[in-house]
Amino acid sequence: RLRAEPGDGEQTWARFARPPAPEAAGLIHDTFPDGFLWAVGSAAYQTEGGWQQHGKGASIWDTFTHQPPAPLGGPLVAGLPTGAPSPSPPATGDVASDGYNNVFRDTEGLRELGVTHYRFSISWARVLPNGSAGAPNREGLRYYRRLLERLRELGVQPVVTLYHWDLPQRLQDAYGGWANRALADHFKDYAELCFRHFGGQVKYWITIDNPYVVAWHGYATGRLAPGVRGSPQLGYLVAHNLLLAHAKIWHLYNTSFRPTQGGRVSIALSSHWINPRRMTNHSIKECQKSLDFVLGWFAKPIFIDGDYPESMKSNLSSLLPDFTESEKKFIKGTADFFALSFGPTLSFQLLDPHMKFRQLESPSLRQLLSWIDLEYNHPQIFIVENGWFVSGTTKRDDAKYMYYLKKFIMETLKAIRLDGVDVIGYTAWSLMDGFEWHRGYSIRRGLFYVDFLSQDKKLLPKSSALFYQKLIEQNGFPPLPENQPLEGTFPCDFAWGVVDNYIQVDTTLSQFTDPNVYLWDVHHSKRLIKVDGLVTKKRKSYCVDFAAIRPQISLLREMHVSHFHFALDWALILPLGNQSQVNRTALHYYRCLVSELVRAKVTPVVALWRPSAPHQGLPRALAKHGAWENPHTALAFAEYATLCFSDLGHHVNFWITMSEPYTRNMTYSAGHNLLKAHALAWRVYDEKFRRSQKGKISIALQADWIEPACPFSQEDKEAAERVLEFDIGWLAEPIFGSGDYPPVMRDWLNQRNNFLLPYFTEDEKKLIRGSFDFLALSHYTTILVDWEKEDPMKYNDYLEVQEMTDITWLNSPSQVAVVPWGLRRVLNWLKSKYGDLPMYIISNGIDDDPSEAQDQLRMYYMQNYVNEALKAYILDGVNLCGYFAYSFNDRTAPKFGLYRYAADQFEPKPSVKHYRKIIDNNGFPGPKTLGRFCPEEFTLCTECSFFHKRKSLLAFIAFLLFVFIISLSLIFYYSKKGRRSYK
């Protein structure tokens, strides 16, 4: 490959400027290359403890935490967790996780995870208490030798960091720490000791961890140990010395130890990722400069040419030290692989705001990997630290951490498989909870939970540990049978529909009902001119005269749907809420619409009520008097339903009493009355109209799936079941189940002294129970719930859950998660709860970006959700009878429509053709599936619909033609016979 030039990484922003196709935006099912290194890490000061045990010397972090300097603007307050149930430990690493006394415990954690590599650091002050050459601390050496021996027994390779921020305090006192170039010689002595004692068992060495943080926050801002508040110039000087010290160690290993030990040496460089505010050349160059100032500061001298980035040299002038030509040669090439650290320690917390150059920081690991690949000659990249954090009060169900871990690993896989980046290993950070530097114990980053107040400090695996263990076992995200699309078809009578929430009642008539006479001015204006005083006899108006109906039906036929679902407007039909004032014009329009639908062989699916603005879709008079809180509303609904059944029922045999009543903002009394209203309407239809109209009727419930955030957590499983019962079971259980509210719901409320959930009388239970002919559900997305109180602002104290999302999921522009398998799970949950009922997915859809002409997201959504419905039907035996796409057009549901609406015209989006193909195939037939013959129901041309609608007229014309032909035949016959007689 061609050698990179500084600045080549700028291509990255253009490469990722366009959003990816939906198939590549979310989770990809693939595995990592064979031999990929799976690691976990820790740092000595964060986890070892034993700060004075067995002759260990003091480090700068011991001093810094025991006597913390006051920050600018006030006294330092250690980052302690708030709302903790028990007192917090001191914010020092004196004991921390006590790893020094628990080698077997820690390595058992490694065995449980199944990692191939373990990154840990050696405490310089533990092996050389004074920091300089002399008699080493034998106990310190014995501890690390014991750890390495245990790793060898387990078959785990060590990745050893020589310096992870804990400089011996004596060297700080004697030399001023890393501000003094002489420290490099002491570092070399310490490194030589480690190479000599441990090098035979170590193949990966890290000289220094995150030199940016060491230099900038140790010696410029003073936020971290040793807490020196020097000038920016001091920070740049320290970084200069760190680079030279690193190079000295690399050359030491390269000349004296590599020939016999065969290891590899690098430096762990930390970085953020940054996106331009606008996609302009200026903003992109500012982003490039931001990465130069943080990552390039150290990476360019090592991986390119031994010198700092040009952007730093031109902007910092005299602040930045100069390398001599010999120093440049000495530094250049002193890394055997690119060791990358990416996570919250630098990103979002310790990154100097000025180094963002007014651009936008982002946790995008994939883009950073691509940038490194382009900028630094396609190096082998070993991610030696990555992860996230949770609150210090979160125990073992660390869902937020787990999904960030999943996101970062997925981005690494995409960088390898889609972008061609050479990533050789990944390190989750960290093995166990520990002391988190400037955050103390206010956050946790471990895969294993540690109770810092306990004596034994056991390691307890968190959900993230179980997730990581399974991921390592599978070497990534392999394709599983449940992830694969299914070939097959639905039954022949399957209902394929589309939804329009709100039908605009447009009573504008067509031109053919106009009795006036017009002349066409062919010579001058070319227009029709009305003849004053001259009128013809006005003919009777027909349903086809409503100008708005025919175009709608034409679009439905173009889509090939068999069903059309819409809601009536209760407030329009009965403005006063009772039959003292009936809007006959509106009823006539609805009657015409349903009759024309039937004529066009499209089954109308009519909802009596759907909550909408204003007044929840209720007549204003009812809304003013308590809406559903008022029991009278249920009686008014039954009266309204009777009117609709009577007036429209001869054309409608598929009714929905209530469509998607939203339980999350509903009071218990409102839900109580709503259930009775539904049951009263169902009984009216069952007793008075079913025999003559032969229709079916039920309620349509919103049923998004609720998934445990931590699949290994019993508490999260219980939380998910609880939310499902409150969301769906609240209305479903009385109708489809026992006639009463779910026991989970009442027990939960009673335990919390909430007695607001009403009780049904026995007669009311009989009224409500069984008031259905089928089960209809609307489904759009899946939500994760976690019982841990990770974020108090987002926590639902009422149900004691926190809703969240898997950040690897694909999202719509309005941040609705696309989770197709959630549909299959909710269908199976309903089947397990309420039996083998006929089910209809009455509404399912996603919003899109109006500027996105390709409509890719909606097609992806539709393809995958319908396929999950097919799996539920074929594999799970769910009695699924229909699927309705949401929504018909953008006019009534902006951004959700299959038809775009502009300038009074409807234009089909690509998803119309896609849906039509699914309908025409009745699913997803394949060469391996047994084809099912279904009689053809649709004409192939839209023009043919003219003849379909006028079959009786065509029959009469055919009869006249037949009579005419017979008459001609008889005339011809007798005229010929007469001529013969004459002869």
- Rounded-to-integer distance, Cα 28 and Cα 23, Å: 8
Which pLDDT score is estimated for 936?
55
Q: What is the pLDDT of residue 686?
A: 98
Task: Please classify residue 281 by burial: count the beta carbons closer than 10 Å to its beta carbon, then call 0-12 exposed, 13-18 middle and 19+ buried.
Answer: exposed
Q: Whose CA is closest to 265, among 363, 332, 188, 339? A: 339
Q: What whole-number distance in Å separates Cα of residue 218 and Cα of residue 224? A: 5
- Residues (pLDDT < 50) of the chain are 1, 69-89, 937-945, 982-983
Element containing residue 236 per DSSP (H, E): helix 232-252
The reported pLDDT for the residue numbered 268 is: 98
Q: How far apart are CA 559 and CA 217, in angstroms?
A: 63
If you write DSSP's letter for every residue of 647-711 in order, what string do you get? HHTTT--EEEEEE---GGG--HHHHHHHHHHHHHHHHHIIIIIHHHH--EEEEEEE--EEEESST
C-alpha distance from residue 670 to each of 679, 756, 861 (Å): 14, 11, 34
- What are the residues whose beta carbons fall under 8 Å from the beta carbon of 101, sequence distance 6 or more? 49, 50, 53
pLDDT of residue 939: 43
Residue 57's SS3 state is coil
Question: Of all helices (H) and strands (E), which one includes residue 640?
Answer: helix 632-648
DSSP letter, residue 59: B
Instruction: Please report the pLDDT score of residue 940 as a whole number.
Output: 42
Residues with Cβ within 8 Å of 20's Cβ and at least 6 positions away in sequence, in order, are none
Helix (H) or strand (E) holding 410: helix 399-417
pLDDT of residue 979: 56
- In which element (H, E) is residue 566 found? strand 563-567
Contact 390, 430 (CB under 8 A): no
Q: Which amino acid is at 749?
A: L
- Write down the pLDDT at residue 982: 45
3-state secondary structure of 179: helix
